[in-house]
Amino acid sequence: MPELPEVETIRRQLNELIAGKKIKKVQVSLPKMVKLSLAKFRKIVSGSKIKCVARRAKILIFELSSGWSLLVHLKMSGRLIFRKKGEKLQEQDTKWNHLIYDFSDGSRLFHNDLRQFGYVKAVKTDELADFFVKEKLGPEPLDKDFTLDDFTVTLKKRPKIKIKQFLMGPQNIAGIGNIYSDEILFYAQVHPLRRVGDLKPPEIKKIFDGIRKILPEALTLRGSSDSDYLDARGMEGEYVPRLKVYGREGKKCKKCGGTIQRLKINGRSAHFCPACQRLMV
């Protein structure tokens, strides 16, 4: 958390809010979040303009006029909250705040992180392609070029892995985490413990359809504020009421009236309806 819909929401908002702004200075109160020396970081950032904000998987990319790009990963609890000049600050803006980007027009961008797992890296913009090749990230599920055939080919490469693990593996498909893997599998009526190699073609298509349906829906509602997530304006996402299984352990299934259960797969939770998502088919 945040996952692809949340990170893409922030990207779109920040592209409107800060693209073209000049960074006057950057304040860093937790140096470990910046993965290079503070002196070099400040030299790269200060005086640069933000050309655009892009994204790859769950990583935000701030392209700077200096020829560098900042890679920002929010991990479990990171937030990027923008406030224009004179706008009243909220507790959420300054609590657990570790970086502040001050723009020349008086606006600011606050980078908060309760658990402190997030990071900021700097990569030369013309080396970004090589950087992401080394990261070995899977395809972007929202890209128009991402097809059912592509998805099927990728699945066949890892036949022994459980489908829940597959969907959450960034090397398989980019940006899907706990929340949306649960929701996609419920939509497809596939049990999270099913092995990829045992899935039938209609089930694979249903999972693919779930990816292409649920992620855009969540994006339209600015994501799921199940825990710490806020968008770039400091607002909660509105998708949580649409969740069918994630975070609903012990509650009634919205489809069949059964009881939602939770299990652990390699230390990660999976929520499912045992009636709608049978393990044996």
Domain assignment present for 140: no
Backbone dihedral region for residue 18 (phi beyond 0: left; psi -120 to 50: alpha; all else: beta): alpha
- Residue at token pair 């008086």: 106
- Whether 3 sits among the annotated catalytic residues: the reply is yes
- Whether 58 sits among the annotated catalytic residues: the reply is yes
Per-residue b/e over 150-170, b at no fewer than 16 CB within 10 Å?
A: bbeebbeebeebbbbbbbbbb
Q: Residue 10 to residues 126, 132, 136, 235: CA-CA distances in angstroms?
A: 24, 20, 23, 11
Judge if 88 and 200 occupy the same domain: no
Supply the pLDDT for residue 227.
85
Per-residue pLDDT of the chain (281 residues; tens, 9 = 90+): 799 999 999 999 999 999 999 999 999 999 999 999 999 999 999 999 999 999 999 999 999 999 999 999 999 999 999 999 999 888 777 888 999 999 999 999 999 999 899 999 999 999 999 999 999 999 999 999 999 999 999 999 999 999 999 999 999 999 999 999 999 999 999 999 999 999 999 999 999 999 999 999 999 999 999 888 999 999 999 999 999 999 999 999 999 999 999 999 988 899 999 999 998 75
- Considering the candidates 2, 5, 141, 192, report the single residue annotated as catalytic: 2
Last residue of one domain, picked from the residues 114, 135, 156? 135
- Considering the candidates 5, 8, 55, 58, report the single residue annotated as catalytic: 58
Judge if 165 and 76 occupy the same domain: no
Backbone dihedral region for residue 82 (phi beyond 0: left; psi -120 to 50: alpha; all else: beta): beta
- Whether 12 sits among the annotated catalytic residues: the reply is no
What CATH number should be reported for the domain holding residue 161?
1.10.8.50
- Considering the candidates 195, 254, 268, 274, report the single residue annotated as catalytic: 268
- Whether 139 sits among the annotated catalytic residues: the reply is no
What CATH number should be reported for the domain holding residue 107?
3.20.190.10
Determine contact, residues 34/43, Cβ cutoff 8 Å.
Answer: no
Supply the pLDDT for residue 41.
97
pLDDT in tens, 180-217: 999 999 999 999 999 999 999 999 999 999 999 999 99
The whole domain housing 209 covers 148-272
Could you tell me how many residues make up the chain?
281
Supply the pLDDT for residue 39.
96
Per-residue b/e over 221-253, b at no fewer than 16 CB within 10 Å?
A: ebbbbbebbbbbebeebebbeebbbbbbeeeeb
